[in-house]
Amino acid sequence: MKDLLQPQTTSFGLKGNRSPYNLGSPPPAAHISFKPEMVGEQYGWVKIISPEKRWNKNWNHCYVLTECQGCGTVQWQDLGSLTRGKSKGCQQCSQPRQIPRWLDRRLTAAKQRCENPNDPGYHNYGARGIKFDFSSVTEAGLYLIQKFGLPDREMEIDRINTNGNYGPGNLRFADHRTNCVNQRRSVLSEFSQEYWPYSQSVVIRKLSQGLTRDEIISDAETAVFEKRKNWKIISARLDFMTYEMPDHIIVLPYREN
């Protein structure tokens, strides 16, 4: 009987508004009875997982141990409320879903990165001052859907300004490649030789060192004047280079188009 009262995997008090009674703090009971036949019965979102019934001193409330089939929360709940349909067992899971589950999970992860110091990504987000500007995950999801429509789930949530908040005007849906290049460690979204006097590896290295595009071009002109290594190739690239770079090519953290 003791084994039945100790589920191997439990999760409680983590999501939504929960009963004050969970696996670690069962409700006080004037009488305890056991009904093995009720184990497995489901009411709304929750299923009874223990044969134990805890009655209060007035015998008008009976609590049973349940597990939500949506989020896995384990808690004690009033059996009468479940059987009469007054409760579906899990307030969060029983609410009509306003945004897809995949979008909810991604926005929840973003909110955690900004607000939970225990989150592995907090040092790159919340610790840098990046905030989740929406009042809730649902509000953020509805904003994105209203502004951009609902995309395929392969699309990712991307902050346009990587130093900005998760807020209106700074979010979009982007494919994985676009999301990857729009990061703090990425200094160039796309390389085309016609816009640069050096090879791609040299351009990336100089951008990473903090040089702007204008400074890189000036450095190349100096290299030709001083006849440094490969100065003839650099000179030819300068002669045929297009100085005005198109808007869709983004130089981070510098943009000198």
Ranges 23-32, 110-119, 175-184, 211-220: which has the least confidence: 175-184
Q: How many residues does the chain have?
A: 257
Mean pLDDT of the 9-17 span: 37
Q: What are residue 50's phi and psi, to 5 degrees? A: -140, 145
Residue 239: count other Cβ atoms within 10 Å of its Cβ: 9
Question: At a CB cut-off of 8 Å and minimum separation 6, what does 84 contact?
Answer: none
pLDDT category, 14, cuts 50, 70, 90?
A: very low
Q: Are 197 and 216 in contact (CB under 8 A)?
A: yes
* Residue 81 to residue 99: CA distance in whole angstroms: 28
Q: Which amino acid is at 224?
A: V
Give the predicted TM-score (pTM) of the model.
0.41
List residues bridging with 46 in a β-sheet.
Answer: 43, 68
Q: Please give the full DSSP string across 34-65, using - where no structure is assigned.
A: E-GGGTT-EETTEEEEEEEEEE-TTSS-EEEE
The SS3 of residue 251 is strand
Q: Are 248 and 237 in contact (CB under 8 A)?
A: no
Question: At a CB cut-off of 8 Å and minimum separation 6, what does 203 contact?
Answer: 188, 191, 196, 216
With a cut of 60, say whether residue 12 has pLDDT above it. Answer: no
- Per-residue pLDDT at 51: 92
Q: Are 198 and 216 in contact (CB under 8 A)?
A: yes
Work out the mean pLDDT of the chain and round it to a whole number. 79
* Residue 110 to residue 104: CA distance in whole angstroms: 10
